[in-house]
Amino acid sequence: MSEEPSPITPDFGDVHQPVVTSSSALRWLPWLDVLKAIGLWFLSVFLLLVIPLLAVVPYIIYKVQAAGGVAALTPEALKSDKMLIFWSVVGILPAHLLTLALAWLVVTEGGRRNFWSEINWGWPKWTNPVAVTLVSVLTALVLYGIAFGATTVYGGEKTDLDIMIESSNYTRIATALVAFATAPLVEEVIYRGIIYPALEKVMGVGFAVAVVSMLFAGVHVYQYRTNIAVILVITLLSITLTVARAVTGKLTPSFIIHLVFNGVQSVLIVLGGFLDKNLVK
C-alpha cells in the first residue's frame, strides 16, 4: 500500500510572531503621556482665556453701534459694564465643555478606550462608597471652615472674583453655576485625572503631588492676587485634592471634595446678593 502524500501547508510567514518593541521605545511611552497631559493643560488655560473674550464680542459690537462709534467706549466704561462682565462669565461654560471634549479625545484616543476607567474614576478598592462619600464631604466642609476663618481673620482686599460677582445678580448666578456645574469635573479630569497619573508614572507620587498642586493653585493666583489669604486657601485645597487622589488611587473622592467645597461657595455667592439687598433696606 502506497502512503498518501501529506497535505501541503502554505507558508504565510511568521503571522503569529509577536511584535517586538524595543526597551528604549517602551521607556519613552510614559513621557509621551506627560507631554500629552501638559499639552492638554496648556490648551485648557488657553481656552479659558480666549473663549470668554470671544463671548463678549457680540455685546461689544452692539455697544459700539449703540454708542455711535468706538471712541465713545472708554476702557473704564467697559471695565465697569455689568453685562460685559456677565457675558464674560457665561463664556467660561463653553470653554469648560470644549476642554472636557478635548480631554475625552486625548484620553480615549478618539473613542478606542473607556474614558472613565482611564482617568481612574470610581471608588477606592476595599472601601465602602458611603463611607468614602461621608469622609469626602466632611473634608470639604472642614476645608471651607478653614477658608472662612482665614479670610475672616485676615480680611484683605477684594479679589477679581469678589468685584465680578458684586457687579450684578446675573453674574452672581452665572458664577455660581460655573463653580458648581462644570468647574469641579473639568478641573479634576485635567489635573488629577490626566496630569497626575502621567507624572506619577515617571517621577513618583511625591513629585506628582507637588507639581499638580502647584499647577492648580498657580492658575488661580492672578485672579486672587490681591488677597494672600485666599491664595493660601486655594493652595491648601489643591494639596488636599491631590493627596486624596494619591492616597485613594481614584478620582471620585477628589471630585466630591471639590464639588462640595465649590457648592458651599456657590450657595453663599447667590445668597450674598439677597443678603446685601436686605442690609441696604
* Segment 198-222, tens digit of pLDDT: 999 999 999 999 999 999 999 999 8
Q: Angle CA(150)–CA(152)–CA(156) in degrees, nearest 5?
A: 90
- Residue pLDDT, tens place only, 88-125: 999 999 999 999 999 999 999 999 999 999 999 999 98
Q: Which residues contact 196 (CB under 8 A, 6 or more apart)?
A: 208, 209, 212, 242, 245, 246
The candidate with the shortest Cα–Cα distance to 202, out of 29, 42, 41, 40, is: 29
- Residue pLDDT, tens place only, 150-191: 988 887 788 888 989 999 999 999 999 999 999 999 999 999
Tell me the C-alpha distance between 258 and 212, whole Å: 15
Using an 8 Å Cβ cutoff, are 250 and 120 in contact? yes
What is the pLDDT at residue 76?
73
Asked whether the predicted pLDDT for residue 15 surpasses 50, the reply is no
Burial of 240 (C-beta count, 10 Å sphere; 0-12/13-18/19+) = buried
Q: Assign 278 a pLDDT band (cuts: 50, 70, 90).
A: very low
What DSSP letter does each residue of 107-122 carry, written as one string?
HHTTTTS-HHHHTT-S
**Which residue shows C-alpha cell 478598592?**
125
Torsion of CA 238, 239, 244, 250, to 10 degrees: 60
What nine digits make up the cell of 103? Answer: 480631554
Asked whether the predicted pLDDT for residue 68 surpasses 90, the reply is no
